[in-house]
Amino acid sequence: MKRILFGAALALLARPAWAEVGTSSTATTSATSFFTTSETPVAFEEPSPWRYGFLLLSTARYQFDNGDRTQLTAINPITGVEELDTRYDPTGEDFYDLVTTIGGEVGYGPMQLAMRFDTALFFHEPIAHPDAVPRISENLEQRYNNVYNLDYISGSYADRNVDLTLGDFYVTLGRGLLLAIRKVGDVGVDNKLRGANGKVRLGDLTLNAFGGFVNLKNFEQGQGFNYDNGNDLIVGGRAEYGFGKYLKLGGHGVLMRNQEDRPRQAEIRGVGATVELPRPVEWAKLYAEVAFMERDLSEPGDPVATDDTFAAYMSANVFAGPVTVLFEGKHYDNLPLIVPDLVAQSTSPTINARQTINLYIAQPTAERPQLILLTNQTVTGGRVRVDYRINADVVPFIAAGRYHDETAVRLGSLGSGATDATAVYGGGTFRWEGGTATGNAGYRGQFGGLDRVDIHLLADVEQHLWDDYAAELYVNALKATQDNEDWLEGRVAASIKAGRTWGATLAYEFYTRTPGLFRQHYVSVAGNWQFSERGLLRALVGGERAGLKCTGGVCRFFPGFEGARIELDLRY
């Protein structure tokens, strides 16, 4: 208890603190509210073209024994043998961190200047055991280092026909098969291009050209990584022409080039085309995209990997009265994830978060977004989802997918063959007087290469109680079987909220895989208090489970946590 109080006191004294965290799909608390406590808008004295904004987000954590016994296994460069060190705890005990983001923006008419500055300070951070294998020391050298980083700066002009940005910007071509530099809040990814981006609209024709160096979200709070941007230059462009609601045609190209001085320059070239029938008839819409990619990859040690890709993706909707049908199909022939430095992707989030979560492309999965997708590189398949709107309050759905994956065959992975996967799940949205329930449950099994079976349940029920009070129950559970190993993982949380003023949550999390390596059960109590229209305080005491968290094909490893955390959000 002393530790908890001390941690809270430290956070309060430190005052400024936050880390920008992903917005959970179940998060219903307010982060900013300018007139939620009033029934009339804030009065502004005089109209002015000037706009100002200020943001301070701060998180202070005190972490005692988190129970996380994640171990690193790595090839010892000296012995050439894969080694395991059981004395190594990558998140440590009794350490503190203070992570703060300060952001500001000023606008004048259609112009806007924005910047954001990240700092992270660590105290009593984990260190390697004197006898630990060298790889562990190397790993820790890039973690828990104090961070002072200008994360984002941009100036933009945006009017009806012209949109220009100098500095940092996001860019996605089509559905991202060739390029998707974006923010994925749930897993803490916020990648930008730092350069110039211009878009011009000439009637039905839209032209876009951009170029810049990749600017990663350098700091990863979960494991304390602080990695550099690298030196990847990306230029590209897209042209799009629309024929009203009936047809939209687009074409794009991209060039990625690693500018490091290497014997062989890593370079990726790609072109793609999109065809969209936004609403050719009232009851249907269609989208299709193809992409071609050539790669010259320089991997560590400079073996050169040269390869080509063809990828196709399509989605179609049918709206037939109360029935809505979604079909998604994909055919990827050797579409790898493109990562910083344009090297082959590392598959270990605990060893190389930089190249595991920072992806330059998006691979539409045609599967549930939260799925931990083991492979998606050489695959053909699709899914269909049917929703039936019985009335505004009852909307059930069912979905089924089938996928044939030859990634392991294509890569020549030892002992791996083609994998066939089948997924079936269903659920819906249900409303009643003062309450709402949403959720789904289902099965996914894949066999042939890497065998795995998942059974999942996701449910969120909210009920209004009285006045401003409401209660919420959230359940997210997974039973997985992989390589003859069974485990359960998930979260059950019960919350009570009083409007936007305050809320409290009691949560239980579990992860039963590899007992002894990971702690299995975690309990936490959290609260949030909106102390003013512009300020929010959040606090958590207890534990949060370790594990992979995935969103749309991007997976990040979150280490276990046990301790106290306090967060302050101020926005003006």
Partner 1 sequence: MIGNASHMRRLMMALLLTAACAQSQKASEPAKTTDSKSSPATKSTAAKLPDFTLETIDGSQFTLSDHVGRDVIVMSFWATWCGPCKVELPHLDALYNEEKENGLVIVALAMDEPTTVAEVAPTAQRLGLTMPVALDTNQRAVALYNRSRSAPMTVVIDKQGRIVHQAAGYNPGDEVKLAQAVRTLLAQ
Pick the binder of partner 1 from 61, 295, 500, 519 (CB under 8 A).
500
Answer yes or no whether residue 261 interacts with partner 1 by CB under 8 A. Answer: no
Residue 345 found at the interface with partner 1 (CB under 8 A): no
Q: How near is the Cβ of 340 to partner 1 at its closest, in Å?
A: 19
Map residues 18-37 to x or -, x wherever contact with partner 1 holds by CB under 8 A.
--x--x-xxxxxxxxxxxx-
Question: In this chain, which of 124, 279, 404, 513 binds partner 1, going by CB under 8 A?
Answer: 279
Binding letters toward partner 1, positions 120-159, x by CB under 8 A: ----------------------------------x-xxxx
Cβ of 378: how many Cβ atoms within 10 Å? 22
Query: 300 pairs with which residues across the strands?
Result: none
- Choose which of 55, 193, 268, 342 interacts with partner 1 (CB under 8 A): 55
Sequence-separated (6 or more) residues with CB below 8 Å from residue 121 = 97, 98, 99, 146
Q: Where are the beta strands (DSSP E) in 205-358?
A: 205-215, 219-220, 225-226, 232-243, 247-258, 267-281, 284-298, 304-320, 323-333
Q: List binders of partner 1 among 64-103 (CB under 8 A).
A: 103
Q: Does 209 bind partner 1 (CB under 8 A)?
A: yes
Which of 336, 553, 560, 563 binds partner 1 (CB under 8 A)? It is 553
Among 81, 130, 131, 160, binds partner 1 (CB under 8 A): 160
Pick the stretch among 121-129, 238-246, 341-349, 486-494 that binds partner 1 (CB under 8 A). Answer: 238-246
CB of 61 vs partner 1, minimal distance in Å: 20
**Contact assessment for residue 97 and residue 120, using Cβ atoms and an 8 Å cutoff:** yes
Which position among 15, 245, 262, 521 is part of the footprint of partner 1 (CB under 8 A)? 245
> What is residue 515's DSSP assignment?
B
Contact 224, 153 (CB under 8 A): no
**Smaller CB separation from partner 1, 128 or 293:** 293
Smallest distance, partner 1 to C-beta of residue 467, A: 9
Q: Distance (Å, rounded) from C-alpha 253 to C-alpha 269? A: 8
Nearer to partner 1, 119 or 512 (CB): 119
Tell how strand 147-158 and strand 284-298 pair up. unpaired
Q: Do 140 and 322 meet the contact criterion of CB atoms below 8 Å apart?
A: no
Site for partner 1 in 508-547 (CB under 8 A): none
Instruction: Please state, in angstroms and rounded to a whole number, the distance separating the CA atoms of residues 344 and 307.
Output: 12
Selected range binding partner 1 among 139-147, 359-367, 413-421, 508-516, rule: CB under 8 A: 359-367
Distance CA 436, CA 503 (A): 18
Q: Which is nearer to partner 1, 25 or 149 (CB)?
A: 25
Residues of this chain, 383-412, that bind partner 1 according to CB under 8 A: 385, 387, 389, 392, 395, 397
Instruction: Write the Ramachandran bin of 496: left for phi over 0, alpha for psi from -120 to 50, otherwise beta.
Output: beta
Site for partner 1 in 406-465 (CB under 8 A): 429, 434, 436, 438, 460, 462, 464
Is residue 17 a contact point for partner 1 (CB under 8 A)? no
Amino acid at 188: G
Cβ neighbours of 226 (radius 10 Å): 19
The pair phi, psi for residue 395, each rounded to 5°, is -135, 90
Q: Count interface residues toward partner 1 (CB under 8 A).
A: 109
Number of Cβ atoms within 10 Å of the Cβ of 487: 18
CA-to-CA distance for 123 and 397, rounded, in angstroms?
50
Specify the residue, 128 or 478, whose C-beta has the smaller distance to partner 1: 478
Q: Which CB, 397 or 447, lies closer to partner 1?
A: 397
Stretch that binds partner 1, among 58-66, 74-82, 194-202, 402-410 (CB under 8 A): 194-202
196 near partner 1, rule: CB under 8 A: yes
CB of 147 to partner 1, least distance (A): 19
Beta carbon of residue 337, minimum distance to partner 1 (angstroms, whole number):
12
Q: Which residue has the tokens 């083991």?
A: 374
Nearer Cβ to partner 1 (447/502): 502
Q: Report the site for partner 1 in 163-182 (rule: CB under 8 A).
A: 163-164, 169-172, 174-176, 180, 182
Give the angle subtended at the CA of 375 by the CAs of 348 and 315, to the nearest 5°.
Answer: 130
Complex with partner 1: residue 134 or 396, whichever CB lies closer = 396
CB 89, CB 133: distance < 8 Å: no
Please report how close the Cβ of residue 12 comes to partner 1 at its closest, in angstroms.
23
Of residues 143 and 182, the one with the C-beta less far from partner 1: 182
Which amino acid does the sequence have at 258?
Answer: N
With beta carbons less than 8 A apart as the criterion, state whether 239 and 251 touch.
yes
How far apart (Å, rounded) are the C-alpha atoms in residues 216 and 193?
8
Round to whole Å and give the CA distance between 205 and 219.
39
Residue from 543, 552, 559, 560 touching partner 1 (CB under 8 A): that is: 552
